[in-house]
Amino acid sequence: MSIVDFLGDKQVFFNKAIIILAMNSMKNTSTYTEDNIRSLDWKEHIRLRPGMYIGKLGDGSSPDDGIYILLKEILDNCIDEFVMGAGKTIEIIINENNVSVRDYGRGIPLGKVIDVVSKMNTGGKYDSRAFKKSVGLNGVGTKAVNALSETFVVESIRENQTKKVKFEFGIVTEDSPLEKSNKRRGTKVIFSPDRKIFKNFKYRPEYVERMIKNYVFLNPGLTIDFNGEKFFSENGLKDLLEDQSNEKDILYSIIHLRGEDIEIAITHSKTQYSEEYHSFVNGQHTTQGGTHQAAFREGLVKTIREHFGKNFEAADIRKSIIAALSIKVMEPVFESQTKTKLGSTEMGDGLPSVRSYIIDFLNNELDNFLHKNQDVAELILKKILQAEKERKELSGIRKLARERAKKANLHNKKLRDCRVHLSDLKKDHRLDSTLFITEGDSASGSITKSRDVNTQAVFSLRGKPLNSFGMSKKIVYENEEFNLLQAALNIEESLENLRYNNIVIATDADVDGMHIRLLLITFFLQFFPELIKEGHLYILQTPLFRVRNKKETIYCYNEDERKEALVKLKGKPEITRFKGLGEISPDEFKYFIGDDIRLDPVMLDKQTTIEELLLFYMGKNTPDRQKFIINNLKVELDYAEEIIELAK
């Protein structure tokens, strides 16, 4: 049959086609009616788009995971009370999934308790007479905590009365009447994050303590009690730098400068290569910097150049610097609800711009300090000249290294990048961006096929990396693996332009994998310790066992989980022991790097310097290290007989 015979009369065919197209068009259009228009209430919108309010979700393995943002939102309100001179103590209790925060401020006005925690864009901070320079300005934070919690209880005590309300998933379940009370005034909030949203979450005390320390460093005179341990600071940002750095690694005593609405602390590291900054606005830790941090870096360079009368390179002046900056701004503008980067250009209150204010402050106060403390000025000058010498020695090598890195990336030899760096994705997904550093073609291939191409990138190692202990920065440019890794991360000068928020070491759970993991950690400790200090480095947990029968498959990350799986599945299920990442198929791997990803953060013990740490684990002290390994050896053969029996 010809096409003409099949279609019949062409005119009839075209008429039919037009009718069919018109009917389809009408059908598609008819589905868009008033019934398609929805108005979400406040809690539905937050629960549908939690990332808009708290950034990424996570399970608590990262300091910027959502469960810490929930705690921060409640604490910010307590801090605002302290700043206004109401309440010098905050009490925090975290017991597994439950969080309790109690302040002794003025208390929420009793007739507005429900509105303040459940009605969007409602709060007292719109009235600048009550909160002059507040952290939370948009009346959203507490509502987000309420909506994203299984239970949320708020109690306000003031004027010898108390008002208590309980919510479940943002819905009022108990509205207690006003009662007389002889308790101290203030506000108490108890909440339990929703386990369906924050899967397998766990609060890590280290991250909570870091948050608490920042609050007390920024608010001298404030005491925060966390699970019975009290945190207090007398010297503000000076205490912060002392807490963050080991005194053995500090080049000179910390320079501590204070002014109206501004505080700065500065020192240099003896061994660290990159710049390290801790910046804050109205008590908020701006981990991504912003206009104030950029102004500080500019003002530091300008002041140093003018003080010594020499046009030093900016990179030489800032090399190895460790600094903390805090400013207070009227109605600050941040780039997101999580307030990690300042966008404001004005200080408010008739003051000059943020940039001018900070630069002028440094020009006056830092210059005066250096004139009065010539010994510190000489140490800084010596450090700058040393940096200048090293830069000139490395200039040729750096140029060649950058060209090699660019060429390698163009040919996609090492890095399989993600799309997060595209302008339309960057803002929404930067906190979720991850680089997996893995070994071998099979492992990197599995991760590459399983990953989320929007937010997850893969860097493939070729064999074991070099032991960089005791080597100079020169090796970073001369060694191809290190040079390409540095280029992929974009961390040559500082963390300000770090391309991935999470850097995940993904190696096999065997001796070689552990060795590669140790060598990579050594590289970061040696040349980029601030990556670890700021909580960017992780170890990927992958399952050790797969236990399955015909109906169900359970992946087990440790021996206890394996035993629980055996009990649950009963009988004689099939048990597989994964020895390498390459053994896990891409179809399975997607479960381990997706929503249920398990990460172990790499953390530093401030009691030990990085130099001491590297010397012990990577130095030539074999007998001491051997003794340590023997004393801490964990024998994992207790389940061998059981596996053999099941395999019969």
* 83 HSE (CA, 13 A, CB side): 23
pLDDT at 388 > cutoff 60: yes
- pLDDT interval class at 260 (50, 70, 90): confident
| The pLDDT of residue 337 | 54
pLDDT at 84 > cutoff 60: yes
Percentage of the chain exceeding pLDDT 70: 83
Give the start-to-end residue ranges of the domains of the chain: 1-32, 48-232, 237-393, 395-642
| The pLDDT of residue 606 | 65
| The pLDDT of residue 313 | 94
Section 294-310 average pLDDT:
95
If one compares 285 and 639, the residue with the highest pLDDT of the two is 285
Q: Is the dihedral of CA 565, 566, 568, 571 positive or negative?
A: positive
pLDDT, tens digit (0-9, with 9 covering 90-100), for 163-196: 999 999 999 999 999 999 999 999 999 999 999 9
pLDDT at 509 > cutoff 70: yes
- Cβ pair 207, 213 in contact under 8 A: no
CATH architecture of structural domain 237-393: 2-Layer Sandwich (3.30)
If one compares 19 and 609, the residue with the highest pLDDT of the two is 609
| The pLDDT of residue 8 | 40
- For 103, phi then psi, to 5°, come to -115, 170
**What does the CA dihedral 277, 280, 286, 290 come to, rounded to 10 degrees?**
-80
- pLDDT interval class at 15 (50, 70, 90): very low
If one compares 147 and 619, the residue with the highest pLDDT of the two is 147
pLDDT, tens digit (0-9, with 9 covering 90-100), for 95-135: 988 999 999 999 999 988 888 888 775 555 545 544 555 55
pLDDT at 213 > cutoff 70: yes
CATH of region 395-642 = 3.40.50.670
Helix, strand, coil content of the chain in percent (nearest 5): 45, 20, 35
If one compares 289 and 16, the residue with the highest pLDDT of the two is 289
**Helix (H) or strand (E) run with residue 505 in it:** strand 502-506
Section 550-556 average pLDDT:
89
The CA distance from 192 to 194, in Å, is: 6
pLDDT at 267 > cutoff 90: yes
- Maximum alpha-carbon separation in the chain: 101
DSSP sequence for 412-435: TSSEE--GGGSHHHHHHHGGG-EE
Residue 420's contacts (CB-CB under 8 Å, 6 or more residues apart) are 426, 429, 430, 432, 433, 454, 455
If one compares 50 and 227, the residue with the highest pLDDT of the two is 227
Q: Considering the chain, what is the average pLDDT of its residues?
A: 82
Which segments within 513-573 are labelled E, that is strand? 537-541, 545-548, 553-556
Q: Which residues pair with 102 in a beta bridge?
A: 91, 188
pLDDT, tens digit (0-9, with 9 covering 90-100), for 236-251: 999 999 988 877 788 9
The CA distance from 71 to 227, in Å, is: 14
- Cβ pair 324, 277 in contact under 8 A: yes
If one compares 26 and 344, the residue with the highest pLDDT of the two is 344
| The pLDDT of residue 261 | 87
If one compares 267 and 480, the residue with the highest pLDDT of the two is 267
Q: Which fold has domain 48-232?
A: Heat Shock Protein 90 (3.30.565)
- pLDDT interval class at 424 (50, 70, 90): low
326 is written with which tokens? 């805090």
pLDDT, tens digit (0-9, with 9 covering 90-100), for 484-497: 888 889 887 777 77
End-to-end CA distance of the chain: 66
Q: CA 541, 543, 548 angle in degrees (round to 5)?
A: 160
The CA distance from 431 to 64, in Å, is: 8
pLDDT at 635 > cutoff 60: no
